[in-house]
């Protein structure tokens, strides 16, 4: 074996994706899964860095006599819940369920009743499609009898660990920066690498946890209208098509410098450099120019009003700003709340000064104050329950 391949194999920590048929006796009847939304890129970390936010979707799936999907909450009026009699559907939860059952060897997928309670805004850059994919995969795997394992624990015949789940989710989503925080929680740094161990699988993903600076909070402007998109994936695809296929070296260097600074700033809790570390030249300029007339003015207004950093959330259209959070000091907390208010007011003013083009395209919007979360996707109910009581893909595991 050539030396380089041996070195690569030794360095590889990812599990191979090996389908294992689960005995029918282990199948479950019902499962309820919670998955957080997420914000991706954080400016320069395009397709690499994402942060879970404390906004949750709940997906409930049970075996039934026919397929059905219902949705309440965010996107209920616009997400198509059509599903064919064999379970074929464009709905991301159903597509992920299909993949999970196939992976676990329960084919064809059995009839399922699915209900989604959505709090994560759809088509907005809050990782709603990743939440659907991760939730559908976990639900399908658990129903088919898989046991959940924490990252790095000993293998069991029917177990699936979060890293395996990450591979499956990335295969559907195509980029890992939302699915990794949706699974693990926290801020995740992900990379895709060529697989050398399993010739059937071309690429794998690995993800590492980055610390969330103490008390960090986010001010988000979420435009209300993204109705022309069928779902979050369609929107992301359209927004990716706006990007230049090649980039000048100086812009690549610009982003390398800032992504490295961002990782260092998160480790040190060094909020004051974030105004540099959240700048980007790979996607925000093109998206701002071609699709998001509100982006530049709102990002600048937020920084001028005291935000530590500002960026386009994922593929947009949400504008995200980083503010200081609670420090435990009551007087400091007051000034932090004032900072969030001042940032929101400044963004609102910038929005008001924009021409009709923004309103026609994206409508009016809402401001949210959001906290990051260290907690990732987890199972809140399973029937029958897990044998060892372990019911989470936990955020602690994402800290590796």
* In contact, 114 and 69? CB cutoff 8 Å: yes
Minimum CB distance to ligand HSE, residue 319 (Å): 14
**Tokens, residue 234:** 């369609």
Minimum CB distance to ligand HSE, residue 11 (Å): 25
Q: Among candidates 325, 353, 320, 329, which has minimal Cα distance to 339?
A: 325
Nearer to ligand HSE, 38 or 339 (CB): 38
Bond from prior residue into 242 cis (ω within 30 degrees of 0): no
Nearer to ligand HSE, 37 or 325 (CB): 37
Position 315 contacts ligand HSE (CB under 6 A): yes
Query: Which of these segments, 14-22, 38-46, 135-143, 354-362, binds ligand HSE (CB under 6 A)?
Result: 38-46
Nearer to ligand HSE, 31 or 291 (CB): 291
Minimum CB distance to ligand HSE, residue 156 (Å): 32
Position 280 contacts ligand HSE (CB under 6 A): no
What gap in Å lies between CA 178 and CA 356, rounded to an integer? Answer: 32
Instruction: Write the binding mask 87 to 126 for ligand HSE: x where contact by CB under 6 A, - elsewhere.
Output: ----------------------------------------
Minimum CB distance to ligand HSE, residue 39 (Å): 9
Burial (CB count <10 Å: 0-12, 13-18, 19+), residue 69: buried
3-state secondary structure of 216: coil
Minimum CB distance to ligand HSE, residue 232 (Å): 8
What gap in Å lies between CA 172 and CA 174, rounded to an integer? Answer: 6
Nearer to ligand HSE, 138 or 180 (CB): 180
Position 46 contacts ligand HSE (CB under 6 A): yes
Q: Which string of DSSP letters, residue by residue, matches 158-188? A: TEE-HHHHHHHHHHHHS-STTHHHHHH-SEE
Minimum CB distance to ligand HSE, residue 134 (Å): 13
- Is the four-CA dihedral 263, 327, 222, 70 of positive or negative sign? positive
Minimum CB distance to ligand HSE, residue 328 (Å): 34
Using DSSP, how many helices (H) and how many strands (E) does the chain show? Answer: 12, 13
Position 35 contacts ligand HSE (CB under 6 A): no
* In contact, 156 and 23? CB cutoff 8 Å: no
Position 303 contacts ligand HSE (CB under 6 A): no
Q: Which phi and psi angles does 90 have, rounded to 5°?
A: -85, -10
Q: Which phi and psi angles does 157 have, rounded to 5°?
A: -55, -40
Nearer to ligand HSE, 42 or 261 (CB): 42
* In contact, 124 and 108? CB cutoff 8 Å: no
The β-bridge relationship of strands 203-210 and 159-160 is: unpaired
Position 375 contacts ligand HSE (CB under 6 A): no
Query: Which of these segments, 40-48, 65-73, 289-297, 364-372, binds ligand HSE (CB under 6 A)?
Result: 40-48
What gap in Å lies between CA 33 and CA 361, rounded to an integer? Answer: 34
**Tokens, residue 17:** 């994706």
Site for ligand HSE in 157-196 (CB under 6 A): 175, 177-178
Interface residue with ligand HSE, options 314, 372, 376, 398 (CB under 6 A): 314
**Tokens, residue 134:** 């991760």
Query: Total number of residues binding ligand HSE (CB under 6 A)?
Result: 13
Site for ligand HSE in 220-249 (CB under 6 A): 236, 239-240
Interface residue with ligand HSE, options 30, 31, 39, 41 (CB under 6 A): 41
Which chain residues interact with ligand HSE by CB under 6 A?
Answer: 40-41, 46-47, 175, 177-178, 236, 239-240, 283, 314-315
């Amino acid at each position: 074996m050539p030396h380089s391949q041996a070195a690569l194999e030794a360095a590889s920590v990812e599990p191979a994706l090996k389908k294992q048929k689960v005995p029918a006796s282990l199948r479950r009847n019902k499962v309820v899964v919670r998955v957080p939304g997420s914000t991706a890129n954080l400016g320069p970390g395009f397709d690499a860095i994402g942060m879970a936010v404390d906004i949750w979707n709940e997906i409930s799936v049970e075996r039934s006599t026919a397929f059905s999907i219902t949705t309440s909450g965010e996107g209920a009026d616009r997400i198509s819940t059509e599903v064919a009699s064999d379970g074929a559907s464009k709905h991301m939860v159903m597509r992920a369920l299909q993949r999970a059952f196939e992976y676990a060897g329960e084919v064809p997928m059995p009839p399922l009743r699915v209900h989604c309670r959505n709090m994560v805004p759809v088509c907005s850059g809050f990782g709603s499609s990743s939440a659907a994919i991760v939730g559908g995969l976990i639900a399908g795997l658990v129903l088919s009898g898989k046991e959940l394992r924490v990252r790095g624990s000993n293998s069991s015949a029917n177990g699936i660990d979060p890293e395996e789940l990450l591979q499956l989710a990335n295969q559907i989503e195509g980029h890992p920066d939302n699915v990794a925080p949706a699974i693990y929680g926290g801020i995740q740094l992900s990379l895709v690498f060529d697989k050398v161990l399993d010739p059937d699988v071309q690429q794998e993903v690995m993800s590492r946890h980055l610390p969330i600076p103490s008390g960090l909070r986010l001010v988000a402007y979420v435009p209300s209208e993204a109705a022309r998109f069928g779902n979050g994936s369609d929107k992301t695809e359209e927004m990716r098509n706006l990007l230049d296929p090649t980039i000048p070296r100086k812009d690549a260097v610009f982003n390398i410098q800032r992504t490295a600074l961002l990782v260092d700033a998160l480790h040190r809790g060094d909020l004051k450099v974030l105004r540099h570390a959240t700048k980007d030249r790979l996607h925000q300029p093109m998206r701002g120019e071609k699709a998001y007339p509100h982006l530049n003015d709102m990002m600048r207004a937020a920084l001028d009003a005291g935000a530590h950093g500002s960026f386009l959330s994922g593929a947009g259209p949400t504008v995200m700003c980083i503010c200081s959070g609670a420090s435990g000091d009551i007087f400091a907390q007051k000034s932090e709340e004032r900072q969030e208010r001042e940032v929101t007011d400044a963004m609102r003013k910038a929005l008001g000064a924009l021409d009709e083009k923004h309103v026609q395209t994206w409508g009016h919007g809402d401001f949210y104050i959001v906290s990051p979360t260290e907690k990732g996707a987890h199972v809140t109910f399973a029937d029958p329950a897990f044998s060892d009581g372990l019911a989470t893909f936990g955020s602690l595991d994402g800290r590796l």
